[in-house]
A and B are shown apart, each in its own frame.
Chain A
Amino acid sequence: GESVGLHLPTLSVQEGDNSIINCAYSNSASDYFIWYKQESGKGPQFIIDIRSNMDKRQGQRVTVLLNKTVKHLSLQIAATQPGDSAVYFCAENNAGNMLTFGGGTRLMVKP
């Protein structure tokens, strides 16, 4: 989930299991949401995005779910692999071309 302050939430899963990373967003007027993956020493990379007129969107092994009622976003990763180990960020767009990022969640995959 979202982090507060200096501590990054960590999710530890077994290889092959499904992972669910959660994100609470702040602005009910946000109309676009995006998930990024950031591996150590690299810049964030796009995973999947969704607009507010959708509840669900699927990609390859990933699904994003949007619950506007409770302002909640989740990223599901199927059959998690060691290469999925990274920090995952959600972001929302509610003004112009800017994104507001959450604090991130670290995913650790145990072999």
Chain B
Amino acid sequence: DVKVTQSSRYLVKRTGEKVFLECVQDMDHENMFWYRQDPGLGLRLIYFSYDVKMKEKGDIPEGYSVSREKKERFSLILESASTNQTSMYLCASSLLGLGWSYEQYFGPGTRLTVT
């Protein structure tokens, strides 16, 4: 089974703190994604990466950065956390879409509260 793990299930940080959210997948997937999920808004893509050291902005990259130093690990960084970044953060991974499916495998999520 594909496993995507996220470093924390719940996190509480103060405004202005630097926050690291870590994601690890064990299926040698090329693609990795970070989403945030807010009530009624579905999943919105923050950043994605299709290879080590490669990154692409998604729909809402402002206030975030990412790092992918190893294939299995994709980190989301909030340089200076703000209260409007309080949200559920979901990491996902997928194979390079050369076949039939673009299925993404999700981690359990990190609920971040910024106070």
- Using a CB–CB cutoff of 8 Å, the interface residues on chain A facing chain B are 3, 5-8, 32, 34, 36, 41-46, 49, 51, 89, 93, 96-99, 101-104
Contact = CB atoms under 8 A, between A and B. Distances in A.
A34 B103 contact: yes
Contacts of B42: 3, 89, 101-104
Given A32-B101, A42-B108, A97 B40 contact: no
Nearest to A4: B40
**B: contact size bracket:** 20 to 34
Nearest to B39: A6
Given A8-B39, A104-B42, 12 more contacts: A5-B40, A7-B40, A41-B109, A43-B107, A44-B43, A45-B106, A49-B102, A89-B43, A97-B94, A97-B96, A97-B102, A98-B33
A103 B101 contact: no
Contacts of B43: 44, 89, 101
Nearest to B107: A43
Contacts of B101: 32, 49
Contacts of B90: 43-44
B57 to A, nearest CB: 12
Contacts of B107: 43
B108 A103 contact: no
A97 B41 contact: no
Nearest to A32: B102
Contacts of B103: 34, 46, 49
A29 B102 CA distance: 15
Interface in B66-97: 90, 92, 94, 96-97
Contacts of B96: 97
A94 to B, nearest CB: 10
A70 B40 CA distance: 24
A41 B40 CA distance: 15
